């Protein structure tokens, strides 16, 4: 963003102020994530940069906390990771199925009461999590599903479906319905049309909605805190407990793994978004 040579001084000053402000904000956004990396390799037990680390002394770094995370005695992370993945995967599948079906119905121009139904379907996104947590807890307790995997999976489906509904509806808004009509006129039944024509075209939207649902479930802690028993602990619940009781570097090792995971998800989501835009013919 080079300035033209004729720019007045005050605009020049303003411009540099603007650029430095932006730099600061970007730094503010991204820098905290990078504090975690080096500290997770700390050889010591404290969560501050030791003198050795500041001088880049190799002895000050170690993989000790990663070992602790994986092999540590009585460590909760293995079970938590297993639970987190099981719950997130099933919740995502459930959200994708229910959400995609609903989005297909909603984007039909024959859909009655569209506004109010859409508002109902995305309400879990608008209602503060704490209230969702309380309400879902009351239901699960009555249904006898508190402290079960099934209960938590249902809870996360509630929170995840709005994302699928929104992304798939958005994808369908640019969808050319004449292709499905063409398929029907050529003798394909509705299920076949959906599997062979509609689904491949809306797949990017479905997957990116699924990613949102996955991350929502994988990162969710408020509702799980109400629902989970000792056997259903998840990674976020363990982190929450750890952060409240004592900050151990093991948490940072876990956090580093989570950042790596989120980077992968970001890349996937970004690739999907571009593909979807290309398919919808939005050129940039």
Show contacts with another protein in window 138-177 (CB under 8 A).
138-139, 154-155, 157-158, 161, 163, 165-167, 170
> Which candidate, 284, 279, 283, places its Cα nearest to that of 179?
279
- From candidates 78, 108, 144, 179, binder to another protein by CB under 8 A: 108
- From candidates 86, 137, 180, 280, binder to another protein by CB under 8 A: 137
> Which candidate, 157, 60, 147, 42, places its Cα nearest to that of 102?
157
99 makes contact with another protein (CB under 8 A): yes
The Cα–Cα gap between 280 and 176 comes to 9
252 makes contact with another protein (CB under 8 A): yes
The Cα–Cα gap between 171 and 112 comes to 20
Alpha-carbon torsion angle 234, 238, 243, 249, nearest 10: -110
Coil vs helix vs strand at 57: coil
The window from 58-66, 74-82, 85-93, 250-258 that contacts another protein (CB under 8 A) reads 250-258
Find the shortest distance in angstroms from Cβ 117 to another protein. Answer: 6
29 makes contact with another protein (CB under 8 A): yes
Find the shortest distance in angstroms from Cβ 55 to another protein. Answer: 15
The Cα–Cα gap between 224 and 182 comes to 47
Partners of residue 61 on adjacent β-strands = 42
Please answer whether residues 84 and 235 qualify as being in contact, where contact means their C-beta atoms are separated by less than 8 angstroms. yes
222 makes contact with another protein (CB under 8 A): yes
> Which candidate, 76, 31, 88, 90, places its Cα nearest to that of 254?
76
- One character per residue 33-72, x = contact with another protein (rule: CB under 8 A): x-xx--x-------xxx-----------------------
The window from 60-68, 120-128, 175-183, 195-203 that contacts another protein (CB under 8 A) reads 120-128
Coil vs helix vs strand at 77: helix
Instruction: Give me the phi and psi of 256, to 5 degrees please.
Output: -60, -45
- From candidates 199, 243, 271, 282, binder to another protein by CB under 8 A: 243
The window from 65-73, 177-185, 241-249, 275-283 that contacts another protein (CB under 8 A) reads 241-249
The Cα–Cα gap between 90 and 281 comes to 33
Find the shortest distance in angstroms from Cβ 39 to another protein. Answer: 6
The window from 68-76, 174-182, 222-230, 275-283 that contacts another protein (CB under 8 A) reads 222-230
* Other beta carbons within 10 Å of 8: 9
- From candidates 6, 244, 245, 281, binder to another protein by CB under 8 A: 244
266 makes contact with another protein (CB under 8 A): yes
């Amino acid at each position: 963003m080079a300035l033209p040579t004729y720019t007045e001084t005050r605009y020049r000053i303003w411009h540099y102020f603007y650029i430095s402000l932006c730099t600061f904000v970007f730094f503010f956004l991204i820098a905290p994530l990078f504090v975690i990396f080096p500290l997770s390799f700390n050889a010591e037990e404290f969560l501050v940069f030791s003198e050795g680390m500041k001088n880049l002394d190799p002895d000050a770094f170690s993989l000790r906390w990663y070992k602790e995370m994986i092999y540590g005695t009585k460590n909760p992370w293995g079970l938590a990771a297993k639970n987190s993945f099981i719950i997130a995967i099933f919740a995502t599948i459930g959200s994708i199925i229910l959400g995609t079906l609903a989005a297909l119905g909603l984007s039909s121009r024959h859909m009655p009461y569209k506004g109010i139904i859409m508002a109902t379907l995305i309400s879990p996104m608008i209602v503060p999590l704490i209230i969702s947590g309380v309400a879902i807890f009351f239901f699960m307790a009555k249904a006898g599903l508190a402290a079960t995997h099934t209960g938590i999976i249902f809870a996360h489906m509630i929170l995840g479906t709005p994302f699928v509904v929104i992304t798939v509806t958005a994808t369908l808004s640019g969808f050319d319905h004449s292709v499905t009509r063409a398929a029907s006129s050529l003798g394909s039944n509705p299920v076949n049309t959906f599997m062979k024509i509609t689904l491949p075209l809306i797949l990017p939207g479905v997957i990116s909605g699924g990613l949102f649902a996955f991350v929502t479930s994988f990162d969710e802690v408020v509702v799980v805190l109400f629902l989970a028993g000792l056997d259903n602990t998840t990674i976020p619940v363990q982190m929450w407990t750890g952060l409240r009781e004592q900050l151990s570097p093991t948490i940072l090792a876990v956090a580093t793994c989570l950042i790596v995971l989120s980077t992968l998800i970001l890349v996937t989501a970004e690739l999907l978004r571009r593909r979807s835009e290309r398919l919808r013919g939005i050129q940039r």
